Structure 1
Amino acid sequence: MGMIDRLLGLPLGRGANVLRETIEVFRENTEAGALRDHEGRAAALAQFAAEFTPRRTGFDSVIDGLNRLPRPLLALGTIGLFVSAMVSPAWFATRMEALAAVPEALWWLMGAVISFYFGARHQWQGQAFQRDLAASALRLGLQARDAAGEDAAGEDATPNPALEAWQRQRR
């Protein structure tokens, strides 16, 4: 058997694959093509996931912590002013006189900075709330539609004139 294979030029181990390899020159192997497509899509999804996955570093954590400080510091500072006015009125009066010497333009600037900070935060929180409301309403609407569909399947909730006419003819 080995001598015939050598005379015909067919290697012994590959004799069964010659026909398949010849056909694959003209037509793609469907299974191999599907595997290549799957691997390509998996690689694309992995690239997208890597691109949009947030990378949290120590710097990000520090900045997030700093972003959470202004409101508590403003609230506690205001309470501290009231306490200091009661504990040491002379010290408090001196500080308030110093604040009275601050130019009006600087007060406007400080007001703008604080307004923009809290205004932007308020807007972002409001939009997040609206998105959550819309998602909840959609979820409730889908649940109600599903429940109505089950009721309609159990009993004829909506009349069908053609069906009623046919049933009258059959009686």
Structure 2
Amino acid sequence: MGMIGGIWQALVGGGNLLPQTVELFRPNAEAEAQRGVGLRDGAMAQFAGEFAAPRRGRFDRVMDGLNRLPRPALALGTLGLFAAAMVDPLWFAARMQGLALVPEPLWWLLGVIVSFYFGARYQVKHQAFQRDLASSLARAPQVRESLAALERLRADSPGAAETGADAALTLAALGPEENPALENWRRQRSA
């Protein structure tokens, strides 16, 4: 046992050189899985940060729901008027005659109220959009760093072969190498 152990130690230089040599040609599956878990966790955390909605109370949700009613009500009411005109033209004509008696200043007032309502709603939505945009832009440096870190993990990215500033060496490292066994196999298959 001592002689075999001595020969083995002379060949591989201890117990840790063989796994390191094998990892030059085939990545360590456990370490690769751990890197994959870290990458997925980072991506999921980024998605959670981007799509997280702020917590709001019941009153805010009810008011937001009520604010969404006027546009569908106006659209459906207009379609209802067309349906009423086709179903009962006399009833519809009587209602339109009643609307014809409404004084012009009242129409102006209705126009102002509707304009202010929709204008205010637009302003609230626009400000919320601007706030979300500013929040996204504030996270841009973090996203840029994450993308750079991911790019460094790619096997075919420049710098993976640590060629420094030598562009020709970088291209040579990224290019495919000749494989005599593969060429021999191709020749045998084509013959």
Name the TM tier (shorter chain). 0.3 to 0.5
Q: TM-score, structure 2 length as denominator?
A: 0.43
Structure number with bigger Rg: 1
Q: TM-score, structure 1 length as denominator?
A: 0.48
